[in-house]
Structure 1
Amino acid sequence: MAKKDYTDLAKTIITNVGGPQNVNSLIHCITRLRFYLEDTDQAKTDVLKNTPGVIDVRQAQGQYQVVIGNAVANVYDAVIDQLGPGFADTSATEEAVVATGGDADPDLNFWDKLKNGFNNLLGVITGSMSPVIGVLAASGIIKGLLALLTLPQLGGLLDPKSVPYLTVSAMADAAFFFLPVMVGFSAARRLGGDPIIAAVIGAFLTYPQMITWGKSFKTMFEIGSFNFQFLNYTYSIFPIILAAWMAKKIEDWLKAHLPNYLQMIFIPLITILIVSTITLIVTGPVIQGIANGLATFITWLVSVSGWAGGLVIGGFYQVLVIFGLHWGVVPLVAQQISGNGASPLNAIISTTMVAQGAAVLAVAIKSKKAAIKELGFAAMISAFCGVTEPAIYGINLRFRKVFVSGLIGSAVGGFITGLMHGNMFGFTGGLIGFPSFFNPKNPTDLNSFWAFLIASGAAILVSFIVTWVWGYNDNMAMSSEVAKKAKPGQAVKA
């Protein structure tokens, strides 16, 4: 099949975000083009929303987000081809955040600055994590399939100590083992720093000798009665994101103070030495301790509360997706998997994806409108594969009752997952992520897999029935987009 041409769509998007002169920089995640605009008021949101190929438009985290769906990477390439590669280099990102209401505005009050600072932080997490999520998801599926092939119930098709098993397992483990390298690279690009320098700092944190010392908590040095110890930073995310930020600040200072002929060598030399040392001694242990504590607390809370935690998280998680805030949860899932080998939080999140997919499936089957059917079936496949934005923005949220029907189903699914203490051993959610519910360390333990089957089945059934009976009919009018949020310090325009 010939590759679809997105040139015209890219041209339309560029025109209606205010033209190239209004674009500071552009990144993308799994489903959205994320623009940093000079002035968001120049964008023609209503026109974009009604453009074929555009699912929806959102504004959050200082970004103007054009929701595309599964074709986002191709559309992004087409947009960059027309804008020029300079717009893909996020060197203007920090300036763009300020231009869209960043915390550098002196007219903002404390709470507005706090709010924008939080949005900027989420923007950095989004830009750092979104490029690597696909790899992590694929690695999780590989690990799950390996666990499946070792099940005695299937005759032990693969020996966990065999060369093929260990080789393929290494392919999957590599993404998690060297996660600081990948996240450091993408974080530096997001912040406008040098990606190679950040990747080298990430490589230092995962260097074999550092890992060996980290696993044994070897003492670096002592000050009085306080021991500074090495830690294991494989699977970690937050320390390298902060390291990439520090590296960017140091790089900028050095560029301003070093002669040009010294910059090529001395900028990476000084930056790597300073940031690696600070991360190793100060920021790494502090952040890792906080992250581990938070992940452990969430794991404990879900385990202790059981059905209650599952009900609440299942019922409200997809609301975070509407505003793009779900990216703040991804590092917590990674922290749970790295610390405990499993994530009860991700097991609950998985049912929310299935529920929204079932809700949009009910719409696609019930509707007699060709456009709704086409979009509904495509969005259903995407949701069952772990990406709910096409379903949410394309149909569910525009028919509010459909979205609520999905929330009811996901609350039921979360309730069952929490009640059965289901765990997830990988990242990939939705129905396609079923291998992630097999325990690689104990393949005969099928409790989490049964929790997945029962919770997903219940989520599908409840969401589908509620949508069919109450949530949708062809006489309903598609709602317009949620009202545009005013910039901090500005009044909402009538």
Structure 2
Amino acid sequence: MPTTDYSSLATNIISDVGGKGNIDSLIHCITRLRFYLKDITKAQTESIKNLDGVIDVREAQGQYQVVIGNAVTDVYDAVIAQLGPDFGDDAATSAAIKDTADQPKLHGWALIRSGFDNFIGVITGSLSPIVGILAASGILKGLLAMFTGFHWLSDTSNLYLILNAIGDSAFYFLPILVGYSAAKKLGGDPIITAVIGGAIAYPTILTAAGKGAEIVTFAGINFPFVTYTYTIFPMILAAYMAKRLQAWVKTWMPSYLAMIFTPLVVILVVSAITLLVTGPVITWLADGLASGISWILTSSSWFGGLILGGLYQILVIFGLHWGVVPLVANDIATTGHSYLNAIICQTMVAQGAAVLAVAIKSRKTNLKALSWGAAISAFCGVTEPAIYGVNLRFKRVFISGLIGSAVGGFITGLLHVDMWGFTGSLIGFPSFINPKVGIDGSFYGFLIASAASLIVGFTIAYLWGYNDKMQEGTAVERAKKPGTK
């Protein structure tokens, strides 16, 4: 539908939901306008459904949801232009909090499940605005890996240097992007949080982390510098801390000092906590995890493949996979190959297979397009778009991928599949060619394990993991606090 039609559509939607006076606030996700209405019975549902540009109407979670599809952002802007900015994000946050306050308190398992859903919602919601960028970057990185693997392009050429910078920048500066996005999701200050992301991803910090330097040693405990590029969870935690701290500082900071000293206090304190506490804690957990994985693989390769294959992408969510990466790097640096990386490779294939099932099965245009891009990225070795864009939003899809990767990891360990490079997933197939003897059992083992990961992950996701009747939930809403429905 042409852009010139959006103002007319916005006018009709506002009228049919009961007029401006019946609207408390409005937010949107990737396909829907989500209204908080004063009296939902005033909305003319059938009339809205018949509007050109509206796909469907849903009522859920205290919201009146108008399904638009790909043009949702443009329609949202047109509606807000007529309603006024006071009906946008900040008002929606207040409405969501009010809506939650009116709901009965949860207890026991219901409380745990609600907390977990909100936690996943914050993670996926923080990543939703940048999923497309990650998918595009992942595809470019995968193509570069293939070009260099077949020696079509030298990794020392100027062209490679430029393309690699373009493909890698979104991941290298991910703390900044995630910080900005997470702050918007949580209702914090995006600029302050982005600066915190820039601080922990600053080149000198990365250099110190690469050298194994320590920030400080206290009571015999070493607090190391940590590499935060490519990480997500630490920055979401930082965004949450920044929001809470900023709200507290505003309660006592004089107004004539607030503009300068509030961000100063927040940036200093949260950056310090992230560097001194969050980073080292994740490092210690990751190191312990790495030791455990190393022991499991040494004791039983097939069992290690099963366990690591089934759990690795969960580690990615929390940033704990960085405890495993040094093991891979050490393997390749000292021996030239890595059995461990061959197992990790299958986790990418399986998550790609799961999101591919959504791409093929779904009839929702926007979700289908997103899923296709995420699948290609996963098969190019970058699973973040698949995980955060689709699979975690429909948790069964993510679980389907975990089951597929557990099977693939089991076969990889059982057949003692080896790998001679870093690049994984399907596009990493040249890494399974033994540089000394050419194609051998590892390459065929990779094909068998990948076929298993694909078939299992895809089949389970297609038959059990996803259908178009499933609700997307609140994972991609832009202005709700954790704990709200």
TM-score bucket of the superposed structures, by smaller chain: 0.5 to 0.7
Q: CA deviation at 1:146?
A: 0.6
Other-structure match for 1:272: 267
Other-structure match for 1:26: 27
Q: CA deviation at 1:451?
A: 6.4
Q: Give the count of matched residue pairs.
A: 416
Q: Does 1:332 align with 2:311?
A: no
Q: Does 1:176 align with 2:171?
A: yes
CA distance in 2, matches of 1:336, 1:297: 13
1:174-213, aligned counterparts within 5 Å? Answer: 174-213=169-208
Residues 58 and 64, structure 1, Cα contact 8 Å, conserved in 2: yes
Other-structure match for 1:384: 372
Once the two structures are superposed, residues 156-211 of structure 1 have per-residue CA deviations (whole angstroms, 9 ceiling, x without a partner) of: 22111212112211111111111111111111122222211111111110111111
State the AA in 1 paired with 2:317: L
Q: Does 1:77 align with 2:77?
A: yes
Other-structure match for 1:225: 220
Residues 97 and 120, structure 1, Cα contact 8 Å, conserved in 2: no
| Residues 113 and 91 of structure 1, relative CA distance in 2, 3 Å threshold | farther
Q: CA deviation at 1:232?
A: 1.4
State the AA in 1 paired with 2:372: F
Residues 407 and 452, structure 2, Cα contact 8 Å, conserved in 1: yes
Other-structure match for 2:127: 129
Q: Does 1:157 align with 2:152?
A: yes
CA distance in 1, matches of 2:178, 2:287: 18
| Residues 337 and 195 of structure 1, relative CA distance in 2, 3 Å threshold | same
| Residues 206 and 112 of structure 1, relative CA distance in 2, 3 Å threshold | same
CA distance in 2, matches of 1:296, 1:213: 23
Aligned with 1:257: secondary structure? coil
Aligned with 2:81: secondary structure? helix
Aligned with 2:251: secondary structure? helix
State the AA in 1 paired with 2:77: D
Structure 1 residues 444-453 or 46-55, which shifts more?
A: 444-453
Structure 1 residues 439-448 or 166-175, which shifts more?
A: 439-448
State the AA in 2 paired with 1:168: L
| Residues 359 and 107 of structure 1, relative CA distance in 2, 3 Å threshold | closer
Q: Does 1:145 align with 2:133?
A: no
Structure 1 residues 272-281 or 375-384, which shifts more?
A: 375-384
Gaps of 5+ in 1: 314-327, 361-374, 389-402, 428-432, 468-477, 485-494
| Residues 232 and 409 of structure 1, relative CA distance in 2, 3 Å threshold | closer
1:467-482, aligned counterparts within 5 Å? Answer: none
CA distance in 2, matches of 1:81, 1:438: 53
CA distance in 1, matches of 2:3, 2:449: 36
Aligned with 2:142: secondary structure? helix
State the AA in 1 paired with 2:186: L
Other-structure match for 2:351: 349
Q: Does 1:54 align with 2:55?
A: yes
Structure 1 residues 288-297 or 267-276, which shifts more?
A: 288-297
1:271-310, aligned counterparts within 5 Å? Answer: 271-287=266-282, 289=284, 304=302
| Residues 312 and 288 of structure 1, relative CA distance in 2, 3 Å threshold | closer
Which residue, 235, 240, 251 being the options, matches 1:240? Answer: 235
Normalised TM-score (structure 2): 0.65
CA distance in 2, matches of 1:206, 1:137: 21
Residues 38 and 99, structure 1, Cα contact 8 Å, conserved in 2: no
State the AA in 2 paired with 1:143: K
Higher RCO by CA contacts (8 Å cutoff, separation 6 or greater): 2
CA distance in 1, matches of 2:458, 2:221: 56
Q: CA deviation at 1:292?
A: 8.0
Once the two structures are superposed, residues 363-388 of structure 1 have per-residue CA deviations (whole angstroms, 9 ceiling, x without a partner) of: xxxxxxxxxxxx58887666433489
Q: CA deviation at 1:269?
A: 1.1
CA distance in 2, matches of 1:246, 1:201: 11
Gaps of 5+ in 2: 329-343, 377-393, 474-485
| Residues 248 and 109 of structure 1, relative CA distance in 2, 3 Å threshold | same
State the AA in 2 paired with 1:221: V
CA distance in 2, matches of 1:243, 1:111: 28
Aligned with 2:94: secondary structure? helix
CA distance in 2, matches of 1:124, 1:409: 21
Once the two structures are superposed, residues 115-164 of structure 1 have per-residue CA deviations (whole angstroms, 9 ceiling, x without a partner) of: 44434333322331111111111111010011121233xxx221112121
Residues 28 and 72, structure 2, Cα contact 8 Å, conserved in 1: no
CA distance in 2, matches of 1:142, 1:338: 26
Q: CA deviation at 1:215?
A: 2.4
State the AA in 1 paired with 2:123: I
Aligned with 2:27: secondary structure? strand
Q: CA deviation at 1:334?
A: 6.7
Residues 310 and 409, structure 2, Cα contact 8 Å, conserved in 1: no
| Residues 252 and 220 of structure 1, relative CA distance in 2, 3 Å threshold | same
CA distance in 2, matches of 1:166, 1:49: 51
| Residues 305 and 7 of structure 1, relative CA distance in 2, 3 Å threshold | farther
State the AA in 2 paired with 1:249: R
Structure 1 residues 413-422 or 209-218, which shifts more?
A: 413-422
Residues 214 and 230, structure 1, Cα contact 8 Å, conserved in 2: yes
Once the two structures are superposed, residues 275-334 of structure 1 have per-residue CA deviations (whole angstroms, 9 ceiling, x without a partner) of: 111221123333565578789999989x85689779999xxxxxxxxxxxxxx9696287
| Residues 39 and 407 of structure 1, relative CA distance in 2, 3 Å threshold | same
CA distance in 1, matches of 2:198, 2:7: 38
CA distance in 2, matches of 1:255, 1:92: 20
Aligned with 2:55: secondary structure? coil
CA distance in 1, matches of 2:60, 2:291: 32
Residues 7 and 78, structure 1, Cα contact 8 Å, conserved in 2: yes
Residues 180 and 240, structure 1, Cα contact 8 Å, conserved in 2: yes
Counting aligned pairs with the same residue, the percent is 37
Q: CA deviation at 1:43?
A: 8.9
Other-structure match for 2:90: 91
Residues 209 and 225, structure 2, Cα contact 8 Å, conserved in 1: yes
